[in-house]
């Protein structure tokens, strides 16, 4: 099968039972995406598939022939962090770091959803939502952080979104 | 000159070199040095080491609660493609994890299953998928249990035993509590209950075990305390501790759950030995819930007696807690009750109810976290009964020394925390219960005191300066998200005058000097002091090379300055470099002073008038924990603790089925830890403080202070919002609904 992962072509023949998360971690050697629950309950495994955020533990690798997958490793490197990654460092949007790759990928996908005008449970205007702190918190609630860096995660995302706008 | 400096804290350390360092690193809100690795997915956790020929292990837990195993039917799954073997060792597998800091093996023996989910075998395969499939298919046959299961706390609560004394005595009595209660004009006698809880660190327990050619067992493990974990594991396997090396460079959270060796490490090590190849074993999330460790449920009877002015004459805190047979740990609910408030007549007791549930052990702030839910809600109830402000009540009962031992407090700013917080939070806006409305919400404010005992643990570190003038810190201390990498770098950089980017901190490898490990909020004080002492020694060595007295030496920006000369460290230390070891140990100061960090929590909540739903709207924590080494990471520790407090107050409830001992909610969808939308932008304030009795850094513990009392502030705010006092945690809407005022 063929996948594009972080801009690179990968030919892998996964077991039909292999989740996209395990494909990344165990077969491609990209361990940045984390496994916190393997059940779609924590968000630690969030990656971007064709630009949209997805819990990679909840989708089988074989469903992603030719898909364009972006993991945390594809967003930036330690020496060349993406703006979102740098904002997480600046605002201490993490502690143990285990949920962090998922938070950052999720934040990227989330900002794109807001840009496209997708509403949420807390949006005042369902077709043209404004990115308030409440909106960020709501939309990031699929990503658990047991270290509870939530206020700092919101600070980081707000800053990046503001710079973008 | 000896190149090691040891200190036992028998005396105060009135001066700290951190106050005279010239590098300007201490206290600053510096970014985590390992941050770029973490945010780019390049920090390596236990299951992420790419070892040659690694096999995948998946654990098999018992699907029954009690009974002796008669057969593990391995044959039927061994023929599945990719399966290598099904390994079990009834005598050696760990029945449950060990507690933190112990040097004995965890309780071993899994043939007689003691609780549901006990790990009884490990399936090893060429792929994770094959191992998981086979593990699901393994049938474990068993006899009927010999005794009836004890699955229901309610029916067992009358059968108690007195646990062995631990950090605090199981029972304590002073004066005449009953007499004082009988005489007091204001009395409170209420019982609070808290459920079992799970630390739910985001990284599940994981071990990659590899026996190398030299017969050394290398464990890449998610462990908070490698130096004692190594001893525990060696004993479990019957090998010498020198044959075990634990590597734990990054740990995806612990909160107490990864203090002691857990079943997956023993199983993976045995399987790896038997198969002659590395085995990687990550617990499934359900197994983390079922087969690691919980915080005990508690039933806490609080008795308070006060005179007409509100001065306490009696404090009674009687706790029932639970654990498995043969396990000594008891949740020390009364820990802070021993010293938080003055009162002559006191009883603080803990009794154990034996249940066939998984192990009870440490979870963030064992004792204080749940003990202060009871004590600080009781204080709120008493204040209401007397008709005084709860902050005033705490002022009135502020002791001037330890109320039991009469030793002085090493430092204590509880009332200042309360007063500062009151001002900052707008405490004067607090109205009578049930009287503040905001649309469909009833709004209330609550306050609670925070206290977490300060501890020092033996800890050692080695610090080296190389020919480039760069420093390396080595210890097997860990960073579980606490900021250890950064603060140890700051301490070394400050004392050696080396910029932070030129200090490399190497943690989590038992080949390095044994550190305190992460637990009990002792990490910074203990491990930081060992680094301090090593650097103190290096400063003496450098002073000697400079030919000046250590006191006359200034170290800054990679240079030594003294006697009107400025020489680069690189030049001074030369090709061979310089190194030193430092070691700290607790001493008489522990007994000569009462050491604790203090704080005050303020919460504003909304209670929905229709549904009874509780939302935390604002929270402020004001803390005094000695010197704050890094304002940014310390604040984050407090945010985390406060959020654990939100969970304990409102959502976290590990439910044991009373009929069969099954965990009802063994995953993150059903065990509700706070998510982003549950947590408002929390405020944290630190008060300036130095504690000369604690350690040479003058810093006290901070990691668990934020949780202590936090939930009580929320519970008290709920009461203030709607007039409903819920004493059975968590405060879910069903417990509020009936008591809501008619609208
Ligand atoms: S690992 Fe995928 S959501 Fe938890
Ligand atoms: S940083 Fe530890 S779980 Fe989020």
Of B32, B253, B681, Cβ closest to residue A89: B32
For B183-230, the pLDDT digits (tens) are 999 999 999 999 999 999 999 999 999 999 999 999 999 999 999 999
CA distance A24 to chain B (A): 12
CA of B236 from ligand 1 middle (Å) equals 32
Q: So where are chain A's domains?
A: 2-75, 83-164
Alpha helices (H) in chain A, listed in sequence order = 20-22, 72-75, 83-90, 100-115, 133-139, 150-164
CA distance B674 to chain A (A): 8
Of all residues in chain B, the one with the smallest CA distance to A88 is: B39
Buried b (16+ CB within 10 A) or exposed e, A22-45: bbbbbbbebbbbbbbbbbbbbbbb
Q: Are B178 and B322 in contact (CB under 8 A)?
A: no
CA of A15 from ligand 1 middle (Å) equals 19
Point out the ligand 2 atom lying closest to the alpha carbon of residue A146.
3
Verify whether the Cβ–Cβ distance B673 to A97 is below 8 Å: no
Give A-chain residues touching B682 at CB under 8 angstroms: 151
Give A-chain residues touching B223 at CB under 8 angstroms: none
Nearest ligand, CA of residue A147? 2
- Residues of B marked active site are found at 704
Q: Are B281 and B264 in contact (CB under 8 A)?
A: yes
Closest listed residue to residue B334, CA positions, set B410, B257, B409, B404: B404
Strand ordering across the sheet containing B67-73: B112-113, B67-73, B139-142
At A164 the pLDDT is 62
Q: Average the pLDDT over B16-29 and give the result.
A: 96
For B578-630, the pLDDT digits (tens) are 999 999 999 999 999 999 999 999 999 999 999 999 999 999 999 999 999 99
Give A-chain residues touching B282 at CB under 8 angstroms: 35
Residue A55 DSSP SS3: strand
Point out the ligand 2 atom lying closest to the alpha carbon of residue B481.
2
Q: What is the mean pLDDT of each run of 10 residues along chain A (165 residues)?
A: 97 96 97 98 98 98 97 98 98 98 98 96 92 97 98 98 74
Q: Is B58 left (phi over 0), alpha (psi -120 to 50) or beta?
A: beta
Angle at CA of residue B456, ends B452 and B459, nearest 5°: 140
pLDDT > 90 fraction of chain B, expressed in percent and rounded: 98
For B446-467, the pLDDT digits (tens) are 999 999 999 999 999 999 999 9
Mean pLDDT of chain B: 97
Give CA–CA dist B127/A16, Å, rounded.
12
> In order of start, what are the domains of chain B with their CATH numbers?
4-30+457-586 (3.30.365.10), 46-61+66-146+200-291 (3.30.365.10), 298-357+366-455+592-735 (3.30.365.10)
Q: What is the DSSP string of B343-395?
A: -SEEEEEEEEEE-SSSPB---SSTTHHHHHHHHHHHHHHHHHHHTS-HHHHHH
At B741 the pLDDT is 83
Q: In a mutational test of the pocket of ligand 2, which residue from B253, B485, B675 has the highest number of ligand atoms less than 8 Å from its CB?
A: B253
Chain centre distance of CA B502: 31
Ligand 2 pocket residue status of A94, Cβ below 6 Å: yes
CA of B248 from ligand 2 middle (Å) equals 16
Give A-chain residues touching B208 at CB under 8 angstroms: none
* Number of residues that make up chain A: 165
CA distance B542 to chain A (A): 34
Q: Which helix (H) or strand (E) holds B589?
A: helix B589-592
* Full-model pTM: 0.97
Which residue shows structure tokens 């009877």? B301
Q: Which helix (H) or strand (E) holds B525?
A: helix B523-546
According to DSSP, residue B95 is labeled: S
Q: Are B310 and B397 in contact (CB under 8 A)?
A: yes
Give B-chain residues touching A95 at CB under 8 angstroms: 253, 481-483, 633, 636-637, 640
For B538-552, the pLDDT digits (tens) are 999 999 999 999 999
Two structure tokens written together for B429? 């806006």
Instruction: From residue B302, give the alpha-carbon distance in Å to each of B333, B348, B378.
Output: 11, 10, 7
Ligand 1 pocket residue status of A42, Cβ below 6 Å: yes
Strand ordering across the sheet containing A2-5: A8-11, A2-5, A68-70, A46-49, A52-55
CA distance A107 to chain B (A): 12
CA distance B149 to chain A (A): 30
User: Mutate which of B32, B37, B39 to test chain A, going by most A C-beta atoms within 10 A?
Assistant: B39
Number of neighbours of residue B468 by Cβ within 10 angstroms: 13
For B629-649, the pLDDT digits (tens) are 999 999 999 999 999 999 999
CATH number of A2-75: 3.10.20.30
At B734 the pLDDT is 97
Verify whether the Cβ–Cβ distance A149 to B639 is below 8 Å: yes
Number of neighbours of residue B658 by Cβ within 10 angstroms: 16
Which residue shows structure tokens 């004995």? B104
Ligand 2 pocket residue status of A92, Cβ below 6 Å: no
Closest listed residue to residue B298, CA positions, set B325, B317, B315, B322: B322
HEC per residue, B383-417: HHHHCCCHHHHHHHCCCCCCCCCCCCECCCCHHHH
At B114 the pLDDT is 97
Of A25, A89, A143, Cβ closest to residue B39: A89
Of B38, B201, B682, Cβ closest to residue A94: B38
A-B contacts at Cβ under 8 angstroms: 194
User: Mutate which of A72, A73, A94, A146 to test chain B, going by most B C-beta atoms within 10 A?
Assistant: A146
Chain centre distance of CA B632: 19
Closest listed residue to residue B1, CA positions, set B370, B512, B542, B450: B542
Angle between helices A100-115 and A150-164 (to 10 degrees): 40
Closest listed residue to residue A64, CA positions, set A24, A118, A110: A24
Q: Assess whether pLDDT exceeds 90 at residue B742.
A: no
Distance between first and last Cα of chain B: 79
pLDDT > 70 fraction of chain B, expressed in percent and rounded: 100
Alpha helices (H) in B126-261, listed in sequence order = 128-137, 153-156, 177-183, 226-237
For A17-30, the pLDDT digits (tens) are 999 999 999 999 99
For B344-400, the pLDDT digits (tens) are 999 999 999 999 999 999 999 999 999 999 999 999 999 999 999 999 999 999 999
**Neighbouring-strand partners of residue B112:** B68
Number of neighbours of residue B252 by Cβ within 10 angstroms: 30
Give A-chain residues touching B34 at CB under 8 angstroms: 97
Closest listed residue to residue B540, CA positions, set B531, B549, B527: B549
Number of neighbours of residue B488 by Cβ within 10 angstroms: 31
At B265 the pLDDT is 98
Ligand 2 pocket residue status of A51, Cβ below 6 Å: no
At B70 the pLDDT is 97
For B549-564, the pLDDT digits (tens) are 999 999 999 999 999 9
Give CA–CA dist B694/B698, Å, rounded.
6
For B108-139, the pLDDT digits (tens) are 999 999 999 999 999 999 999 999 999 999 99
Q: Assess whether pLDDT exceeds 70 at residue B437.
A: yes
For B261-318, the pLDDT digits (tens) are 999 999 999 999 999 999 999 999 999 999 999 999 999 999 999 999 999 999 999 9
ipTM of the complex: 0.98
Q: Assess whether pLDDT exceeds 90 at residue B522.
A: yes
Q: Which helix (H) or strand (E) holds A49?
A: strand A46-49
Closest listed residue to residue B143, CA positions, set B66, B77, B199: B66
State the CATH class of domain A83-164. Answer: mainly alpha
Of B31, B38, B202, Cβ closest to residue A36: B202
Verify whether the Cβ–Cβ distance B36 to A79 is below 8 Å: yes
pLDDT bracket for residue B2 (50, 70, 90): confident
């Amino acid at each position: 099968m063929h996948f594009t992962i972080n801009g690179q072509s990968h030919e892998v023949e996964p077991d039909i039972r292999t989740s996209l998360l395990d494909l990344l971690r165990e077969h491609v050697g990209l361990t940045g995406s984390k496994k916190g629950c393997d059940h779609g309950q924590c968000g630690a495994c969030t990656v971007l598939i064709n630009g949209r955020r997805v819990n990679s533990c909840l989708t089988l690798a074989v469903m992603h022939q030719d898909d364009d997958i972006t993991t945390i490793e594809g967003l930036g490197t330690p020496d060349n962090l993406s703006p979102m990654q740098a904002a997480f460092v600046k605002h201490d949007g993490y502690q143990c770091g285990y949920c962090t790759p998922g938070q950052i990928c999720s934040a990227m996908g989330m900002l794109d959803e807001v840009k496209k005008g997708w509403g949420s449970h807390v949006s005042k205007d369902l077709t043209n939502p404004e990115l308030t702190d409440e909106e960020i918190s709501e939309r990031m609630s699929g990503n658990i952080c047991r270290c509870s860096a939530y206020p700092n995660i919101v600070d980081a995302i707000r800053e990046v979104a503001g710079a973008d706008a | 000159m000896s190149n090691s400096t040891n200190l036992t804290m028998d005396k105060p350390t009135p001066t700290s070199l951190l106050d005279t360092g010239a590098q300007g690193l201490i206290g600053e809100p510096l970014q985590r040095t390992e941050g770029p690795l973490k945010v780019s997915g390049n920090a390596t956790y236990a299951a992420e080491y790419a070892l040659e020929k690694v096999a995948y292990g998946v654990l098999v837990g018992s699907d029954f609660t009690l009974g002796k195993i008669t057969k593990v039917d391995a044959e039927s799954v061994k023929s599945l493609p990719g399966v290598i073997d099904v390994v079990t060792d009834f005598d050696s597998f760990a029945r449950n994890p060990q507690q933190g800091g112990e040097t004995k093996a965890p309780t071993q023996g899994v043939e007689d299953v003691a609780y549901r989910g006990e790990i009884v075998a490990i399936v090893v395969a060429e792929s994770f998928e094959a191992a998981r499939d086979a593990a699901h298919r393994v049938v474990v046959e068993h006899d009927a249990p010999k005794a009836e299961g004890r699955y229901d706390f309610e029916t067992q609560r009358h059968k108690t035993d007195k646990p062995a004394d631990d950090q605090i005595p199981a029972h304590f009595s002073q004066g005449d509590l009953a007499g004082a209660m009988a005489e007091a004009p204001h009395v409170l006698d209420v019982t609070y209950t808290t459920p079992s809880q799970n630390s739910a660190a985001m990284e599940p327990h994981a071990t990659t075990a590899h026996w190398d050619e030299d017969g050394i067992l290398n464990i890449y493990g998610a462990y908070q305390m490698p130096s004692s974990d190594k001893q525990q594991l060696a004993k479990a396997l019957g090998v010498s501790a020198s044959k075990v090396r634990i590597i734990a460079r990054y740990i995806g959270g612990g909160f107490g759950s990864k203090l002691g060796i857990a079943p997956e490490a023993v199983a993976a090590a045995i399987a790896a030995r038997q198969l002659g190849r590395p085995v990687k074993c990550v617990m499934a999330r359900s197994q983390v819930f079922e087969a690691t460790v919980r915080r005990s449920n508690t039933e806490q009877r609080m008795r308070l007696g006060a005179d007409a002015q509100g001065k306490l004459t009696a404090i009674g805190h009687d706790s029932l807690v639970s654990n498995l047979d043969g396990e000594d740990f008891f949740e020390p609910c009364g820990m802070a009750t021993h010293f938080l408030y003055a009162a002559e007549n006191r009883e603080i007791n803990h009794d154990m109810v034996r249940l066939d549930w998984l192990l009870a052990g440490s979870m963030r702030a064992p004792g204080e976290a749940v003990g202060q839910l009871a004590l600080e809600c009781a204080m709120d109830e008493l204040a209401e009964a007397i008709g005084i402000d709860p902050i005033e009540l705490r002022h009135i009962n502020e002791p001037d020394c330890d109320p039991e031992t009469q030793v002085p407090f090493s430092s204590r700013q509880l009332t200042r925390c309360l007063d500062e917080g009151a001002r900052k939070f707008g405490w004067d806006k607090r109205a009578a219960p049930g009287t503040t409305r905001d649309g469909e919400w009833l709004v209330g404010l609550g306050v609670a005191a925070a206290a977490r005992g300060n501890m020092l643990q033996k800890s050692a570190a080695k610090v080296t300066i190389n020919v480039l003038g760069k420093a390396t810190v080595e210890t097997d201390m860990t960073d579980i998200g606490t900021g250890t990498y950064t603060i140890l770098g700051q301490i070394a950089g400050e004392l050696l005058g080396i910029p932070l980017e030129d200090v490399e901190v190497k943690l989590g490898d038992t080949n390095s000097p044994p550190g305190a490990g992460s637990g009990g909020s002792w990490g910074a004080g203990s491990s930081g002091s060992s680094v301090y002492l090593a650097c103190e020694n290096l400063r003496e060595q450098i002073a000697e090379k400079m030919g000046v007295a250590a006191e006359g030496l200034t170290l800054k920006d990679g240079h030594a300055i003294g006697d009107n000369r400025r020489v680069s460290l690189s030049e001074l230390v030369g090709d061979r470099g310089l190194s030193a070891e430092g070691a700290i140990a607790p001493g008489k100061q522990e007994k000569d002073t009462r050491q604790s960090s203090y704080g005050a929590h303020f919460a504003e909540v909304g209670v929905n008038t229709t549904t009874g739903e509780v939302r935390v709207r604002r929270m402020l924590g004001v803390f005094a924990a000695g010197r704050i080494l890094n304002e940014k990471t310390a604040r984050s520790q407090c945010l985390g603790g406060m959020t654990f407090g939100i969970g304990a107050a409102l959502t976290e409830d590990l439910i044991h089925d009373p009929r069969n001992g099954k965990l009802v909610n063994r995953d993150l969808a059903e065990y509700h830890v706070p998510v982003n939308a549950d947590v408002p932008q929390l405020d944290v304030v630190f008060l300036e403080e130095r504690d000369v009795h604690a350690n040479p850094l003058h810093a006290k513990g901070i990691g668990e202070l934020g949780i202590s009392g936090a939930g009580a502030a929320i519970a008290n705010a709920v009461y203030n919002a709607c007039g409903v006092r819920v004493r059975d945690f968590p405060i879910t809407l069903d417990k509020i609904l009936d008591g809501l005022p008619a609208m």
